[in-house]
Amino acid sequence: MTTRPPFTYRFEPGGRTGAPPLLLLHGTGGDENDLLQLGAMISPGSPLLSPRGRVLENGMPRFFRRLAEGVFDEEDVRHRALELGEFVQYARDRYGIDAPLAVGYSNGANIAAALLLVKPQALSGAVLLRAMVPLTDPPDAKLEGKPVLILSGQHDPIVPGDNAAALADMLSTAGAGVDRRVLPVGHQLSQADVALARTWVAETKHQAMVS
């Protein structure tokens, strides 16, 4: 078992029995504080685990290296996804939480998608906000019905619509239960993202309880 956390992070224990733990993964230039409020809005009372990306790009934290905008260093993506999976296990051991539901935005959504593909057992599912395909040659993952919500922006200048659609197809082919929505927004998050994610998390939790 890891004795030292490989990430700087925040952990909020939550206060509602049965609320799913959330793994909050920020976008480029964010930190461990960025998505705490979003997590509390999406799933009130959930334990919140929020690490800071360890890669710096012009001084801005990220979760993996890129060669240019939209062009990822895929060897680094794989390495960083495994590193994040180890951190999740560290936090589960330390805080006694279940496998978390990832909530990732932009770069954080991309590393969450990579983690699903590289180490599926680390997560119970994911909310991917403005995500792209993280690996052009992914491993043969078996996601076994893990729920995934992908929220894309119709006017997103960073994430092409066909790329986000390809990610949805990739995760579906691996066995995930994917729900993709396209909102009339750009790359930034909106109140519609919060409302849709909150409803989806509540419905997913209910389905898990009755199944």
Mean per-residue pLDDT, 58-81 = 95
Q: Name which residue leads in pLDDT, 78 or 211.
A: 78
CB-based burial of residue 16 (10 Å sphere; 0-12 exposed, 13-18 middle, 19+ buried)? exposed
* Token code pair at residue 74: 């895929």
Whether residue 136 contacts residue 113, with contact meaning beta carbons closer than 8 Å, is answered with no
pLDDT in tens, 143-159: 999 999 999 999 999 99
Would you state the pLDDT for residue 6?
Answer: 78
CATH fold of the domain at 9-210: Rossmann fold (3.40.50)
Mean pLDDT value of segment 85-103: 97
Q: What is the pLDDT of residue 206?
A: 53
pLDDT confidence of 15, banded at 50, 70, 90?
confident
Q: Read off the pLDDT of residues 29-53 as tens digits, 9 standing for 90 and up.
A: 999 999 999 999 999 999 999 999 9
pLDDT band at 74 (very low <50, low <70, confident <90, very high): very high
Phi, then psi, of 209 in degrees rounded to 5: -75, -30
What's the average model confidence in pLDDT over 112-122? Answer: 98
* Residues marked as catalytic: 106, 156, 187
Domain boundaries, the chain: 9-210
Q: To which H or E segment does residue 23 belong?
A: strand 22-25
- How many other C-beta atoms can be found within 10 angstroms of the C-beta atom of residue 184? 9
- Strands 101-105 and 22-25, sheet pairing: parallel
User: What is the model's pLDDT at position 210?
Assistant: 43
**Spatial contact of 154 and 144, defined as CB atoms under 8 Å apart:** no
**Does residue 133 have a pLDDT over 70?**
yes
209 has a pLDDT exceeding 60: no
How much is the pTM? 0.95
The mean predicted confidence, pLDDT, of the chain is 94
